[in-house]
Amino acid sequence: MRILMLTQFYPPIIGGEERHVVNLSSSLVARGHDVSVATLRHHDLPEFEVAQGIHLHRVRGSMQRIGVLFSEDSRQYAPPFPDPEVLGALRRIIRDEQPDIVHAHNWMVHSFTPLKTWSKAKLVMTLHDYSLVCVQKRLMYRGTPCTGPGFTKCLGCAANFYGSAKGWPTVLAHSFWSGRERRAVDMFFPVSQAVVEGTQLNTYHAPYRIIPNFVPDQVETVHDDADPHLAQLPKGEFLLFVGDIMPDKGAEVLLEAYAKMHTQIPLVLIGRSYLPNLAEQLPSNVLLMGTWPHAAIMGAWSRCTLALIPSIVADACPTVAMEAMLMGRPIVAARSGGLTDIVADGETGLLVPRGDARALGDAIQSLLDDPDRRARMGTMAKQRVVEFQAKTVVSLIEQTYQELLDTSSHNDEQSQALAWSR
């Protein structure tokens, strides 16, 4: 089977979505499929290379040439409409790679939808977020969870988020092209039930199958005490938060909860900080580590006492929860987004109302006071995470690909038979 992945970012730009694309592509290659990736070109990297058996095509978009559109030169996003140069590049890539399946992961899909009929490929779309209905992609409205999209409401929200010059055109383009996307996609892969509900797939009668993010069957992990990252960790017990340190991820709620607990167990924060002057305001037993390599993060999970995921935003399907479970860590998390699909409340961790610092602190303290319960939850977490490993999830994706191709082949046969009968 020949598969073309569409993703706006690819390593060395890395995040949860990019890691998913890399892991999925590598797993499919290992299963004998031909996999290519089309991504936006950054950092003057080669336009084409083969990495881990994957044909990697980096393309320059027309929107990228307008530098003022992006707040970060290193992360220039795909627009919510077809980019002329990307569309042209995809035509060339499809002609050369001849994919049976095109698997999109973000707004890069819009540069493919005009080519879908010509390509004769089946189109699947993983919904890693809420971008099908929300131009912010997060379903947040003025700092609080959004109750759902509305045209006038979205215009004001986008103008506030992007500025009027970008916000209003973005909403208008998104409103048109998201409808085209729903009609063009043969199968959506929402990563959680929260994404199904947030993107209103049932309302639009869109075809979908919930397929979560996943962790590889074998994950590189650093355990060496001499590692310069692990050497920074406390020697005894500690609480661990991994992710962007920002209000959406519940960082402020976590710090408030921790301050009220008066515990001596350190709190470790690993990730990029978006809170101004945070380092100067933290008490001595809260350790701000910055960004770490993934293998070192896995080593930190294996050493921590509890994993903390207090997101305010409805995280679609946070892989950090799966990684903590893989290392046998119980989780205290917000009852938010895809976390309710991953964390079994009372079995592999505890779920608390999002934004509730008191409930968060009480849940953390209850598990700190009960090491036997923590141990049982950690064991259960390691057993449950099998549902979120490559051997389970990639098989579901592969099966869906084949079902779509079989259906297409069957329809072609019926059409030919009908033509002959005439």
CATH of the domain at 268: 3.40.50.2000
Residues 249 and 109: their CA atoms lie apart, in Å, by 27
In terms of domains, do 314 and 208 share one?
Answer: no
Amino acid at 16: G
In terms of domains, do 296 and 332 share one?
Answer: yes
The label of the residue with tokens 């959004």 reads: 146
Residue 223 lies in a domain: no
Residue 285: predicted pLDDT:
92
Residue 388: predicted pLDDT:
96
DSSP reduced 3-state for 29:
helix
Residue 412: predicted pLDDT:
59
In terms of domains, do 195 and 238 share one?
Answer: no
In terms of domains, do 339 and 367 share one?
Answer: yes
Residue 225 lies in a domain: no
In terms of domains, do 303 and 281 share one?
Answer: yes
> How many other CB atoms are there within 10 angstroms of residue 107's CB atom?
25
Residue 417: predicted pLDDT:
47
Is residue 266 within 8 A of residue 285, CB to CB? The reply is yes
Q: CB neighbours of 241 closer than 8 A, spacing ≥ 6?
A: 251, 254, 267, 268, 269, 270, 271, 308, 309, 310
* Helix-, strand-, coil-residue percentages of the chain, each rounded to 5: 45, 15, 40
Could you list the residue range(s) of the whole structural domain that residue 72 is in?
Answer: 2-215+392-421
In terms of domains, do 44 and 154 share one?
Answer: yes
- The torsion defined by the Cα of 158, 353, 290 and 298, in degrees rounded to 10, comes to -120
Tens-digit pLDDT profile for the chain (422 aa)? 999 999 999 988 888 889 899 999 999 999 999 999 999 998 789 999 999 999 999 999 888 777 655 556 667 788 899 999 999 999 999 999 999 999 999 999 999 999 999 999 999 999 999 999 999 898 988 888 888 888 888 888 888 888 887 888 889 999 999 999 999 999 999 999 999 999 999 999 999 999 999 999 988 899 888 899 999 999 999 999 999 999 999 999 999 999 999 889 999 999 998 888 887 888 889 999 999 999 999 999 999 999 999 999 999 999 999 999 999 999 999 999 999 999 999 999 999 999 999 999 999 999 999 999 999 999 999 999 999 999 999 999 999 999 999 987 656 555 454 444 44
In terms of domains, do 402 and 365 share one?
Answer: no
In terms of domains, do 245 and 376 share one?
Answer: yes
Amino acid at 143: G
Provide φ and ψ at 307, rounded to 5°: -100, 135
CB burial class (10 A; 0-12, 13-18, 19+) of residue 408?
middle
In terms of domains, do 401 and 413 share one?
Answer: yes
Residue 348: predicted pLDDT:
97
Global pTM reads 0.90
Residue 222 lies in a domain: no
In terms of domains, do 62 and 22 share one?
Answer: yes
In terms of domains, do 111 and 144 share one?
Answer: yes
Amino acid at 89: A
Residue 421: predicted pLDDT:
43
Q: Quote the number of domains for the chain.
A: 2
CB burial class (10 A; 0-12, 13-18, 19+) of residue 93?
buried
Residue 25: predicted pLDDT:
97
Residue 283: predicted pLDDT:
81
Cα distances from 89 to residues 44, 54, 55, 247, 338, in angstroms, run 17, 18, 14, 38, 35
Residue 141 lies in a domain: yes
Amino acid at 329: R
Residue 221 lies in a domain: no
Residue 151 lies in a domain: yes
Is residue 311 within 8 A of residue 250, CB to CB? The reply is yes
Residue 220 lies in a domain: no
